[in-house]
Amino acid sequence: MITYFNHLFFAVSLSISFNIFAYDLVEMNQGVNSIDLNGDGRMDYFFIAHYDNNKSHPSLTVTFYVNKPDGGYSIMPSIVKHEFPYFSLSLSGSNVTVSGFSLMRDKKNVYFITSNKTIINAYDQQKFDYTLYKFIKNEDNPGASLYSWEKVSETTSYGKYLSAKDSFVELESHFF
């Protein structure tokens, strides 16, 4: 009987371990960060900076640079057309982020994810809308950026959260 429960416990633990490690949230710090966006073995970079606009809603921005095989770097456009950095939106003097972003990776791909409050009521817990973007290389369309983020999926959080950062705990259950 004990052996049966030991085997059952091991099988359940192994199953949970595989599910927990199906993806990783990528640590994102202000300044230069390195990651292999396209799986080619060369380090690409993303830059996180404060957008200081003297307003009550400070923002973080993220800009991506891909290490090209022939040398040099290529900047990736934002998910917002005709822009290069992507902006978050926080409330001044608080830890509330009503619009945020993160990077996730699985064994093969890197994804850019946005999380936006469905109703912008700053100090109430609300559901968040997620959008998942996959890194792509675009060699077929002259005049288009060589690298970009392609929208893959959209969904809404199950739970309600105060801040976008808190809402990222649900990502695996929605996308992976």
Q: How far apart are CA 64 and CA 98, in angstroms?
A: 22
Q: How far apart are CA 139 and CA 156, in angstroms?
A: 33
Tell me if the pTM is above 0.85. Answer: no
Reference 134, options 23, 35, 37, 27; nearest CA is 37
Interval 7-39: pLDDT, tens: 333 333 333 333 444 678 899 999 999 999 999
For the segment 141-149, the average pLDDT, to the nearest whole number, is 84
Q: How far apart are CA 59 and CA 136, in angstroms?
A: 26
Largest CA distance in the chain: 67
The SS3 call for residue 174 is helix
Specify the DSSP element, H or E, that contains 171: helix 171-175
Domain ranges across the chain? 24-175
Residue scoring higher pLDDT (89 or 45): 45
For the segment 145-167, the average pLDDT, to the nearest whole number, is 92
